[in-house]
Copies of this chain bind each other. A is one copy, B any other.
């Protein structure tokens, strides 16, 4: 909306707080959108001020994905709820092999939330979106009474376009396929839990929150024909992702503990926090299932990308009607890698 020309927006960013008028559809909401959102997201789509944005597409196959973000604390080492809301949805779109094109963003804000924090989150979101080259082209803000939400919840949706002929899906894993992870596991969950528990370590653990679409584009360009599917091991971690894929493809999975990349400080923190790194959320890692003959080449290609430097083959798809995921332990034994059964880490993303 271009009403800035006629009236100066009144918003005390430094010490002001969100109130119910900021969600009421009137001038105050317009001010909030102008000063905080449009400046941060800064693109011609939003500048038009319509309730939707239009874009041109070529003939082809598109994907759509959405995720809600309710993480607490909202600011954590390596990121915040804003950058996470961009990275997470960019990744969900890209993991289909698609090039992410556009995002939408819906905010649910608790009355009383500091405008300065909101600006920090939204600025971070804008920066993450620009860095990824995926603009936020449409959005919505709602304000609920104090006590009816917890700070800010963000829901982003994304669309992208899939290269012709590429159809990755979780039901395509076949016996003999290799399981690849793009890097160390557990960094995000441990960073957030450490912050929440006020733990500090000699080496600070940062969230791995990152947009993986350029890594994925390299993988698809190099070995698209051999790729079966990709997933990001977020909530529930590697364990949940592999169990999901095993059930979807009606196979089993067998991984080797010694080959799973883990940072020593994450291992140490997990012991302290009583967490299993295989259940801990990641926000900048992916799992790929690929035909065996292409696996080593794919890993080499991934390692050439900054976000895939620690990529590794960690196991294989095996025949198993019960769809079990098993792990050969470092001590030569074997254990089940199950879904986590309770709630280990609420509001981790």
User: Measuring CB to CB, which residues of chain A are less than 8 angstroms from any residue of chain B?
Assistant: 1-3, 6, 19-21, 23-27, 29-30, 48-70, 92-93, 95-96, 98, 102, 104-108, 137-145, 147-150, 153, 155, 157, 159, 162, 167, 169-171, 229, 231-232, 234-237, 240, 244, 247-248, 250, 281, 322-323, 339-347, 349
Copies of this polypeptide in the complex: 2
A163 to chain B, nearest CB (A): 11
User: Are B61 and A53 in contact, with the CB atoms below 8 A?
Assistant: no
What residues of chain B lie closer than 8 Å to A346, measured between beta carbons? Answer: 20, 23-24, 143-145
Q: List 25 A-B contacts (CB under 8 A).
A: A1-B170, A1-B248, A2-B250, A3-B247, A23-B346, A24-B340, A25-B234, A26-B340, A26-B341, A27-B341, A30-B244, A48-B169, A50-B96, A52-B63, A52-B64, A54-B167, A55-B63, A57-B61, A69-B142, A106-B157, A140-B155, A144-B150, A148-B149, A148-B347, A153-B153
What residues of chain B lie closer than 8 Å to A60, measured between beta carbons? Answer: 56-57
User: Are A52 and B345 in contact, with the CB atoms below 8 A?
Assistant: no
A31 to chain B, nearest CB (A): 11
A86 to chain B, nearest CB (A): 14
Q: Which of B19, B54, B68, B250 contacts A108 (CB 8 A)?
A: B68
Q: Which of B2, B30, B144 contacts A347 (CB 8 A)?
A: B144
What residues of chain B lie closer than 8 Å to A19, measured between beta carbons? Answer: 343
What residues of chain B lie closer than 8 Å to A23, measured between beta carbons? Answer: 235, 343, 346
User: Are B52 and A96 in contact, with the CB atoms below 8 A?
Assistant: yes
- Given A6-B322, A68-B155, A244-B1, are A162 and B24 also a contact pair (CB < 8 Å)? no
A29 to chain B, nearest CB (A): 8
Q: Which 4 A-B residue pairs are closest in the complex by CB-CB distance?
A: A25-B236, A25-B235, A157-B157, A52-B65
What residues of chain B lie closer than 8 Å to A64, measured between beta carbons? Answer: 52-53, 55, 102, 104, 137-138, 157, 159
User: Are B68 and A107 in contact, with the CB atoms below 8 A?
Assistant: yes
Q: How far is the CA of A261 from the CA of B26 in the complex (A)?
A: 22
Residue of B nearest to A2 (CB): B248
Q: How far is the CA of A97 from the CA of B26 in the complex (A)?
A: 25
Q: How far is the CA of A320 from the CA of B30 in the complex (A)?
A: 20
User: Are A55 and B62 in contact, with the CB atoms below 8 A?
Assistant: yes
Q: Which of B108, B141, B157, B339 contacts A104 (CB 8 A)?
A: B157
User: Are A145 and B347 in contact, with the CB atoms below 8 A?
Assistant: yes
What residues of chain B lie closer than 8 Å to A342, measured between beta carbons? Answer: 21, 24
Q: How far is the CA of A65 from the CA of B235 in the complex (A)?
A: 27
- Given A49-B170, A169-B50, are A26 and B144 also a contact pair (CB < 8 Å)? no
Residue of B nearest to A229 (CB): B50
Q: How far is the CA of A127 from the CA of B98 in the complex (A)?
A: 30
Q: Which of B24, B29, B106 contacts A155 (CB 8 A)?
A: B106
User: Are B244 and A106 in contact, with the CB atoms below 8 A?
Assistant: no
Known A51-B96, A62-B159; further 7 A-B contacts with Cβ < 8 A: A24-B235, A49-B171, A50-B170, A54-B98, A106-B106, A144-B346, A148-B347
